[in-house]
Amino acid sequence: MNKVKLSSEKSVSTNSRTMSLLSQLEKINLDSVLGEADNARYVTSKILHLVQSQEKTRKEMTSKGSTGIEVILSTLENTRDPQTILNILNILIELVSIGGGRRASVLVTKGGTQILLQLLLNANRESPPNEELMVLLHTLLAKIGPKDKKIGMKARINGALNISLNLVKHNLQNHRLILPCLQVLRVYSTNSVNAVSLGKNGVVELMFKIIGPFSKKNTSLMKVALDTLAALLKSKTNARRAVDRGYVHVLLTIYVDWHRHDSRHRYMLIRKGVLQCIKSVTNIKLGRKAFIDANGMKILYNTSQECLAVRTLDPLVNTSSLIMRKCFPKNRLPLPTIKSAFHFQLPVIPASGPVAQLYNLPPDVDDVVDESDDNDDAETESEIENEIEDDKDQHFKNDDIETDINKLKPRQELGRPLEELKMYEKFFPELSENFQECDLVSEEPKPFVPDANLGGPIVVPTAGEEVSAEANLSVKGISLKESNSLLTEECNRRPAFLELPKKDSIKDSSLLQQNDQRKLLPSCQCLSQEIVKGLDRISLQNSTKSDQYYAGCVIKKENKASLTPLACSKTCEHVSPCGGSLFEGSSVHLGKLCCTGVDSEEEDSRSSSSGEQVVLEVSDVSPVHDCDLYIEMVKNTKSIPEYSEVAYPDYFGHIPPPFKEPILERPYGVQRTKISQDIERLIHQNDIIDRVVYDLDNSSWSVPEEADVLKFNSKFESGNLRKVIQIRKNEYDLILNSDINSNHYHQWFYFEVSGMKTGIGYRFNIINCEKSNSQFNYGMQPLMYSVQEALNSRPSWTRVGTDICYYKNHFSRSSIAAGGQKGKSYYTITFTVTFQHKDDVCYFAYHYPYTYSTLKMHLQKLESMHNPQQIYFRQDVLCETLAGNSCPLVTITAMPESNYYDHICQFRNRPYIFLSARVHPGETNASWVMKGTLEYLMSNNPNAQSLRESYIFKIIPMLNPDGVINGNHRCSLSGEDLNRQWQNPNPDLHPTIYHAKGLLQYLAAIKRLPLVYCDYHGHSRKKNVFMYGCSIKETMWHTNVNAASCDLMEDPGYRTLPKILSQTAPAFCMGSCSFVVEKSKESTARVVVWREIGVQRSYTMESTLCGCDQGKYKGLQIGTRELEEMGAKFCVGLLRLKRMSSPLEYNLPSSLLDIENELIESSCKVTSPTTYVLDEDEPRFLEEVDYSAESNDDQDIELAENAGDYEATNQEDGLSDSDSTRILLS
């Protein structure tokens, strides 16, 4: 044997001992001299020794630029010497065993998989095969296999697939050999085509020869066999084979045996492996049926309950829950139809789309459930599909992002003839008003200069056609001579709520206490605890002035007071102790309420019969809320169900509570507990009451009379609750009504509950929600309004509820409602409430309600309270909705200083700001933000005056009145999402959108494009407030196209306003903003106004329904105070935008527009930027579970393994024999 002399020179880079050995090995490969086998054997043994003993050597061989792996693999490929091969396999095993997946990936990229598979084929030709070689080959393949997504295809093409299977078949007693073979089979089985092929060759039956009852011997082999079996059973073919052979019952028997004998919980991973096999086989309908027939529900329920006491067994409990929920028989939603309980006949039926399908359904079709609950009819595993999946680029790709630059470039299109657009001239009288008849006083009066031209109408140069001065230009409240009685009382002063209190006025006021707080005089008294019992609905329609609405509150007008007190001014003597009607012959009623008014002189001596004085100390009661006026507005509101009742919270109003409401911390295991209680319904069916206690579909239904049953109601404006079923004594299933002319969109709820007792936790389950996730899983609570609390001077919506979670349930959605997809399930919002007062009347809502009647009341109050010398306020009716309700259009700006030419000219040429809100009825937060905007614009704040002097505001505060009135979540009466109709709105089906777009098209036609368009929305899955805008460059960046190389010039000014808001509004988060244009959003207001109208600063502003995770309000749920503040801050942002864009006042800070670096540095991996912007807004919540039978992918297993509340185990990539587990405590 010729010994190779090793170089003694030492160099860090090339002459280290390892590199010297590798160089010599490379030379041996090149020379191929006879007798070099001994040298190769010697060199590889030395390298093996160094690799085994020195981490430095391992790093050196796998570092970037090193050729070590290539040399080793080349030798392995070319040598025929058995010992050299064994040495090299041991070297590679050492390299990939330590250092994580990176080293295994390096080996794969260098072609290692192909070389090893070829070596396996060569070794298999020997008879008998070299056992040591087979063990090492399989060990190495098992380690690198998970890093090679094509290993299954390579093994099949090479013919190596059955080699490992045959080795197991013929060596069942040789555990050392079959252990790595099983690990390789598991890797192969991740390819469904391989799993089917192996199944045909008897692999499933073979696995059941290896696994068995409890035994302390060969536990590592048992664990790997179970992992392999679980992977194989993901194939529907294999799962059917297992069901046909009765293996579901065998698996349950094995699980119970290990559960009983593993009293010290040392073999949890084996027990979990059995559950994973059951989990895989129950992905098919036959498997679920076999599981039920084998009494699997009761077995897993009982074993999981026994495991609850041991925290480290949570993975077993959670996997059991997952299986049970999946196998829980799919139930039919207990409804006659999933279409809305209310019907509205459309004037025009769309030619296509969901609404057309709805109208074309045969009357006898059962649209609630399908005959089949999943797509289990045919084997869908396709080699092509799976291997195309493997070839998919791993880099981020979002097919929804628009990539056609021609479609991205804004193209200003009128879309309608100019003659037709002239119909909108009447909505812009400010462009032609000359104010000659108005009593305007300039702050600095200028001498009047006679001019012949001023004898007639003033002609001011504008960009568009002028409206004749003879036209009907009645600007409400501008002419002092035509002021109504309200204005004569209020026009010469500003309403108190819109200005800071002044010391002198406070001193002069006899109504104010020294603490400057407003006091609400006692408005109501509770009659003992009979707040609900025996009371008729209070009628509020045909009343005279002397008897008006004193059950609630009115705004008392005191000219001398700088702050407006709220008071009732008369005792209601009509209310008898048993309750009665205040007025006869009316159709509008107030909700359940027992109250009497009190005289103001007796306010200090009067108290409620429960001993509590009804005195309300508040500092921010909204003066735009007027109970009397609200009832008047309700009378003219047209609803499809023809509501005659008024919800108490809407009548009396809402005052933000004085305390903070933090985002709720989710208790450990809450979802698991709720799932367990749901499973008990199936196991202990005799405990279920299953009694309908409220039903809109059944006209003969009557209110239950039992004292211990809750009473429900939703027959009022914006109400939504269709049916209630009592499940247990204190648990109720609630079903929401779908949007009218639709069969889905269930999320918004607003309903009344009464008849409760104190000290009892009532569980409410809203069982037909549709979104796959919700902020209810991240600390959001529903809202409750207590009438008793309101009578006790706390009229507030407050966040309530414990044990809140949102999860998939066992009620199936029909394919008709799920867009053609079968097997979809509904989701449950569950929460538990303990009421503070017996027999209270409480209201629950998804978010702070804001009705259409509330909007009309607010607008009328703002109009009656404004100073017409200072503020130009005009309210028009843009159009009528399908139901005949008016859609308000508001114009706000500052009155000109005088009717002199220069001032009129400045007035007419102010740029426009166009705002809209509430296109989606369930996003009530948008209305609260809009309320903040309107009140700020109408305030006496100097900045508000500057803002009015800078812009003309055109505002449509509610784009979807019908949807709001009728309790819809997303649609109008047309059954369509109005924010997807902007491209081609139908004047008959989408009148508000058609005419809103017409206003913008008219402005474009007369060359008066708005500076900013913003549509206010709410967001159900993200926190904070943020904006979506439109940018060509940013859209191209997000598609991995180098926009810098494109010939694109884009003004980055679209980012200025969001940047300003991020600096001024505490709830606003710039990091959540996106300026990407997606194909699915091309018909939204934001994109259409940008692309077709040509408004560069076209935005959607999204406000969270939950709360904030940054800034001043971090960790707090959002309330109306914060939402209104956001509306005001938006106005402040517009003023700063004006100043920054004026070169005479300010230079634009470069930091506001420095977007390129910011964008390039940010990594955007989004599924849909306007759903999840940049990174996921939320981490996976602690117990996220997908117990779906909709597919046999393993996503839910990954969720269960990785989610903190479920479990966190060692990364058992299937190759570890360790039984250790690491539990992450929440």
Give whole-number Cα distances, 318 to 655, 807, 983, in Å: 43, 14, 47
Q: How far apart are CA 600 and CA 597, in angstroms?
A: 9
Which strands form 952-956's sheet, in the order they lie side by side?
871-880, 886-894, 952-956, 912-917, 1012-1019, 1097-1104, 1025-1028
Q: Residues of 196-235 as b/e, b for ≥16 C-beta within 10 angstroms?
A: bbbbeeebbebbbebbeebeeeebebbbbbbbbbbbbbbb
- Give the tokens for residue 936: 């700020």
- Roughly how many angstroms between the first and final C-alpha of the chain, as a whole number? 64
Identify the H or E element spanning 875: strand 871-880
C-alpha 142: how far from its chain's center? 40
Q: How far apart are CA 182 and CA 191, in angstroms?
A: 15
Catalytic annotation, pick one of 433, 717, 863, 1102: 1102
Within 770-868, strands assigned E span 783-786, 797-799, 802-812, 825-834, 841-845
Angle at 830 between CA 828 and CA 831, to 5 degrees: 165
Angle at 551 between CA 545 and CA 554, to 5 degrees: 65
Q: Do residues 1170 and 1028 touch, judged by C-beta distance below 8 A? A: yes
Identify the H or E element spanning 691: strand 691-695
- What DSSP line would sit under 73-131, residue for residue? HHHHHH---HHHHHHHHHHHHHHHHSSTHHHHHHHHHTTHHHHHHHHHHHHHTSSS--H
Identify the H or E element spanning 906: helix 901-908
Give whole-number Cα distances, 618 to 519, 563, 629, 789, in Å: 6, 12, 21, 14
CB atoms under 10 Å from CB of 529, counted, come to 15
- What DSSP line would sit under 136-147, residue for residue? HHHHHHHHHGGG
Phi, psi (deg, nearest 5) at residue 1223: -100, 125
Q: How far apart are CA 1129 and CA 1135, in angstroms?
A: 10
Q: Residues of 414-428 as b/e, b for ≥16 C-beta within 10 angstroms?
A: ebbeeeebeebbebb
Phi-psi region of 934 (alpha: psi -120 to 50; beta: other; left: phi over 0): alpha
Specify which residues 784 forms β-bridges with.
798, 844
Phi, psi (deg, nearest 5) at residue 282: -85, 10
Q: In whole angstroms, how large is the CA radius of gyration of the chain?
A: 37
Specify the 3-state DSSP secondary structure of 573.
Answer: coil
Specify the 3-state DSSP secondary structure of 769.
Answer: strand
- Give the tokens for residue 180: 């790595």
Q: How far apart are CA 495 and CA 791, in angstroms?
A: 26
- H runs (alpha helix) in 478-625: 485-490, 503-508
* Contacts of 85-90 spanning 24+ positions with Cβ under 8 A: 85/119, 85/133, 86/132, 86/133, 86/136, 87/41, 87/44, 87/45, 87/47, 87/48, 88/44, 89/133, 89/136, 89/137, 89/140, 90/48, 90/136
Active site residue 1102: yes
Q: For residue 1144, what are the contacts with CB-CB under 8 A and spacing of at least 6?
A: none
- H runs (alpha helix) in 621-757: 627-635, 648-652, 670-683
Q: How far apart are CA 1086 and CA 1099, in angstroms?
A: 5
Residues annotated as catalytic (active site), given as ranges? 1102
